[in-house]
């Protein structure tokens, strides 16, 4: 009788696990559909003309894809290819420098003991609570005083000091970077920079990949600061140019071209995610093996 009851309990547990798994898959499918559906709508609208868009929504692609692409590339006073190059330069440099130096800062707080350690950690978290809109006036005065308007430096250098990325990397190091490993490297004669670049960074790859994606997307979509600093048409980034397309005169405004420009601006983000996502998956696989 005890064996039968145990078998029934195992069977009921198996059914319960199977039901929860089915529910989880259904929820994931629904969430994925809701996330991807709007991309589908965007790409469909990029293939339709202004007249087709005025008639309402359609699930079927239009026949004006090449025309919208050509109109976007030759739109008066707006160079989308130049904006694409500018956005790529700013976003790649911002993501790379921000991730590297924020990881270095987190490593310094995590691996070293000094008097102001707790104060520095608290101060950095306090800075994280201050929105950029509060300090923008002083920032603009500083940029103008240094003669850095129409320059990428004010968009790249301040973004290196990212409290959010620092906090994430610091928390990740608490669980993924044992100090005994750092001490062993020091005993073997490894210098501090060599230890950081050869031992710490490889362990931080999954977290760095996540933060690099977030930093890239944040810089790529940034409209507020570039719109205040960049005035030359040759220096403007994609968000500014897309905003100009949307606010164009009603005689020149073409929603098909606007949707094409938005679709055009999404592809680099997808490419960056596909390149870095493998490191995230590798990190999760390593974590599951260690667990």
**pLDDT one-digit tens code per residue, 129-164:** 887 778 888 888 999 999 888 999 999 998 888 888
4-18, 77-91, 105-119: segment of lowest average pLDDT: 4-18
In angstroms, the CA 8 to CA 10 distance is 5
Q: How far is CA 111 from the centre of its chain?
A: 27
Compute the distance between CA of residue 57 and CA of residue 51 in angstroms, rounded to an integer.
12
How much is the pLDDT for 159? Answer: 85
Q: Minimum mean pLDDT among 58-62, 95-99, 167-171, 257-261: which range?
A: 58-62
pLDDT tens per residue across span 263-290: 888 888 888 888 887 776 655 544 433 4
From CA 279, how far away is CA 264, in angstroms rounded? 26
Return d(Cα 68, Cα 71) in angstroms, integer: 5
Cβ–Cβ < 8 Å for 48, 69: no
Query: In this structure, are residues 260 and 106 in contact, taking their beta carbons and an 8 Å threshold?
Result: no
Please determine, for residue 86, whether its predicted confidence score (pLDDT) is greater than 90. yes
Residue 291's pLDDT band (boundaries 50, 70, 90)? very low
Give the model confidence (pLDDT) of 18-67 as tens digits.
778 889 899 999 998 988 888 888 889 889 888 888 888 788 888 888 88
pTM of the model: 0.82
Positive/negative CA dihedral, 180, 98, 138, 151? positive
Q: Would you tell me how many other CB atoms lie within 10 Å of the CB of residue 68?
A: 26
**Residue 257 pLDDT > 90, yes or no?**
no
């Amino acid at each position: 009788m005890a064996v039968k009851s145990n078998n029934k309990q195992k069977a009921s547990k198996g059914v319960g696990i199977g039901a929860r798994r089915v529910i989880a898959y259904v929820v994931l499918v629904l969430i994925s559909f809701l996330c991807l559906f709007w991309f589908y709508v965007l790409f469909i609208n990029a293939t339709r003309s202004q007249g087709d868009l005025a008639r309402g929504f359609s699930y079927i692609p239009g026949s004006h894809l090449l025309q919208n692409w050509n109109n976007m590339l030759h739109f008066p006073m707006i160079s989308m290819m130049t904006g694409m190059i500018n956005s790529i330069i700013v976003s790649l440099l911002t993501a790379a420098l921000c991730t590297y130096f924020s990881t270095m800062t987190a490593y310094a707080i995590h691996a070293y003991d000094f008097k102001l350690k707790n104060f520095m950690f608290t101060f950095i978290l306090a800075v994280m609570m201050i929105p950029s809109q509060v300090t923008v006036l002083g920032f603009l005065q500083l940029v103008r005083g240094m003669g850095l308007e129409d320059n990428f430096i004010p968009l790249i250098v301040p973004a290196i000091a990212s409290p959010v990325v620092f906090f994430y990397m610091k928390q990740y190091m608490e669980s993924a970077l044992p100090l005994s490993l750092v001490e062993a490297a020091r005993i073997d004669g490894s210098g501090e920079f060599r230890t950081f670049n050869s031992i710490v960074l490889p362990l931080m790859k999954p977290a760095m990949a996540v933060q690099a994606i977030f930093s890239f997307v944040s810089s790529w979509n940034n409209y507020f600061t570039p719109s205040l600093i960049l005035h030359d048409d040759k220096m403007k980034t994609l968000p500014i140019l897309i905003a100009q397309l949307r606010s164009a005169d009603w005689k020149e405004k073409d929603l098909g071209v606007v949707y094409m420009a938005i679709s055009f601006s999404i592809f680099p983000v997808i490419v960056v995610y596909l390149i870095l996502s493998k490191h995230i998956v590798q990190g999760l696989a390593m974590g599951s093996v260690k667990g």
